[in-house]
């Protein structure tokens, strides 16, 4: 028999405090994989969300759907206190309730779609200024891509930066240019 267990608690501290059985801790600690919270890995949000869209469309027998670039920006900016489960549950809801083949910001619940205030959404729950700046840059770039039809010169103009600067930011933030 194999047991796979997951927790967001620090079990060593729970054992030391007497809140978790030490013998059970050692039985479960054969192979340990520490995975940072989703909020600490914003680069994983969009690939996970896209995979969940595909999974839930297939599972529900629905036609393929895609996420609007602005939706992706808002998903990246969200803090995800519920981690991957919260993201998957939201995506499942969006797949089921959205109309058409594109999930748009109008399909999002109000806690994610803050009336277009991408800055507030991007900087909420950021631990450092650098993290807030990167989240805001990512969200604004994705939003500009969605609004301009993915024309690099138009995106750069919308952001008030040169195309060279845009290319540097795309590379630094690991943003894949839509095809």
Helix, strand, coil share of the chain (percent; to 5) = 60, 0, 40
Lookup result for tokens 């910001």: 105
Tell me the pLDDT tens digit for each residue of 109-144: 756 655 456 666 666 656 788 888 887 888 788 778
Per-residue confidence (pLDDT) for residue 162, from 0 to 100 = 95
Mean pLDDT along residues 25-40 = 84
Percent of the chain with pLDDT over 70: 88
Q: Count of CB atoms within 10 A of residue 152's CB?
A: 14
Burial of 13 by CB count in 10 Å (0-12 exposed, 13-18 middle, 19+ buried)? exposed
- Domains of the chain are 1-34 (no CATH), 41-172 (1.10.8.60)
Mean pLDDT along residues 61-81 = 87
């Amino acid at each position: 028999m194999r047991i796979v267990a997951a927790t967001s608690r620090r079990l060593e501290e729970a054992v030391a405090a007497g809140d978790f059985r030490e013998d059970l801790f050692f039985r479960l600690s054969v192979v340990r994989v520490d995975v940072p919270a989703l909020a600490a890995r914003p680069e994983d949000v969009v690939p996970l969300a896209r995979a969940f869209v595909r999974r839930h469309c297939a599972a529900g027998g629905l036609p393929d759907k895609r996420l609007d670039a602005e939706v992706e920006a808002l998903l990246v900016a969200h803090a995800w206190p519920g981690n991957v489960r919260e993201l998957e549950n939201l995506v499942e809801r969006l797949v089921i309730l959205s109309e058409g083949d594109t999930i748009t910001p109008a399909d999002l619940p109000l806690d994610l779609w803050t009336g277009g205030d991408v800055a507030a959404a991007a900087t909420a729950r950021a631990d450092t200024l650098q993290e807030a700046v990167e989240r805001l840059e990512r969200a604004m770039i994705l939003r500009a891509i969605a609004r301009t039809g993915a024309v690099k010169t138009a995106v750069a103009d919308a952001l008030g930066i040169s195309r060279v600067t845009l290319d540097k930011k795309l590379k630094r933030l690991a943003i894949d240019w839509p095809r």
